Amino acid sequence: MKLTSWGRYPVCESTVNRPRSDAALAGLLHTQPPSSSIARGMGRSYGDSALAEHVYSTTALDQFIAFDEERGLLRCAAGVTLETLLHAMMPRGWFLPVVPGTWHVSIGGAIASDVHGKNHHLDGSFGQHVESLRLMLASGDIVHCSAQENTELFHATCAGMGLTGIIVDATLHLRRNNSSTVMQRTLRAHNLDEIFALFDSHHNSHYSVAWLDCLARGNSLGRSLLYLGEHANDNICRTPAKRSISIPFSSPAFLLNRYSMSLFNSLYYHKPVKELVEQRIEAKQYFFPLDSIGHWNRLYGKRGFMQYQCVIPDASAQPAMREILTRISTSGKGSFLSVLKKLGPANRNLLSFPLEGYTLALDFKFEPSTLALLDELDSIVLAHGGRLYLAKDARMSQEVFRRSYPHWEDMARIRAETGADRLFNSLQSRRLGL
């Protein structure tokens, strides 16, 4: 079957297997040709990290196994989604310490991508809240990994993009939370200098994320809206609402152009907001706003889109973002979904994305001319000591990867030592020379 990830680019001809038990999964490992397989959860990575000739879908491995309420430790199979977990645990007064921008992500996928959220500057990434995991190696054997046991393999698997084996289940730390709502404050920044100053002055806010107008120019370059959030303290815990609308078909690609995006960005930036006034909103609305729109990726047309997410270290973040936004604005290839976040220190996971600094994520409609623009952005990112997010990548070169991920050789060594390099290879890992 033809398979894509969330960006709908590239397309891969794949055989998809959906085992319903660990034993069935182990059996499949012995029947697949070498060097052609990868695990896949919900397929919400944006590029080709979960694409291969043979795919092991973990969607049927979706059981809750145990919950230690005293310690807040939940053990579940890798195919459990964040949506399922939060539907079960939020009414009981528990929340995940870290969530990405969508809850349509499997636990295995969240670990493999070491996803981060709007609170990375305070709480780090998803892998830092994983107590332990069980990993099926290429041999079919299952090993227990944690920060204390099989430590090197643990830090290769968290953020390892599925390249060390298949995560079977994991034990996660949950956090007490006595509300299903968030108190949100909105601040308007007129340019890039102002948004950086606002991030600095509100560093202690638990959650912070900025929407940014990437087509603004001159004195308005970087104009944005900053959304600050804190969990409410109202002892009201309820099940999150389901999505409300869905995009039924792919939109004509010509509708997305500089003029339509400029109009949208201008209207969005100038929308009425009561600055610094707290607004109570549902947690789902704050953390997963796009999940209320089913199949929103169809808005970019049949050819799909490419998300470009980079991180720049603190020391050069502001001049680098100025260069990047100037180049994008000049090109006219803007994005509706331009998001700026503050990140905290890097962790020990070999291929984890975050660095202490700022990350910018943008969506670009796929067209051949976009590739040249992204190559130019790569040069800016590398010149300032940054890197690109593997979970969003669909076209990074091997040179860019190796220059920006200093532990790639350790990852390659571990893969060779465990035999993973002979079986677990995605389109992305082949392109990047892993």
Q: What pLDDT does residue 368 have?
A: 87
H-run or E-run covering 3: strand 2-3
Q: What pLDDT does residue 337 have?
A: 80
What is the CATH architecture assignment of 181-395?
Answer: 2-Layer Sandwich (3.30)
Q: What pLDDT does residue 57 have?
A: 97
Distance CA 92, CA 5 (A): 33
Statement: residue 249 has pLDDT above 70 = no
**pLDDT-based confidence at residue 258 (cuts at 50, 70, 90):** low
H-run or E-run covering 307: strand 305-313
Distance CA 309, CA 116 (A): 12
Q: What pLDDT does residue 27 have?
A: 92
**pLDDT-based confidence at residue 297 (cuts at 50, 70, 90):** confident
Q: What percentage of residues in the chain have a pLDDT greater than 70?
A: 96
Mean pLDDT computed over every residue of the chain: 93
**Residue 73 structure tokens:** 């430790």
The answer to whether 420 and 342 have CB atoms below 8 angstroms apart is no
CATH of domain 64-177: 3.30.465.10
Give the Å distances, CA to CA, from 309 to 23, 67, 237, 255, 429. 37, 35, 34, 24, 18
Domain extents in the chain: 64-177, 181-395
| Residue 38 phi, psi dihedral angles, 5° rounding | -155, 150
Q: What pLDDT does residue 142 have?
A: 98
**pLDDT-based confidence at residue 409 (cuts at 50, 70, 90):** very high
**Residue 50 structure tokens:** 């979960």
pLDDT in tens, 319-350: 999 999 999 988 877 777 899 999 999 999 99
Q: What pLDDT does residue 270 have?
A: 77
**pLDDT-based confidence at residue 243 (cuts at 50, 70, 90):** low
Higher pLDDT, 76 or 304: 76
Distance CA 179, CA 91 (A): 8
pLDDT in tens, 131-164: 999 999 999 999 999 999 999 999 999 999 999 9
CA-based nearest residue to 320, from 247, 379, 279? 379
**pLDDT-based confidence at residue 360 (cuts at 50, 70, 90):** very high
The stretch 102-118 carries a mean pLDDT of: 98
pLDDT in tens, 10-44: 999 999 999 999 999 999 988 877 778 999 999 99
- Helix, strand, coil shares of the chain, percent, nearest 5, are 35, 25, 40
pLDDT in tens, 380-402: 999 999 999 999 999 999 999 99
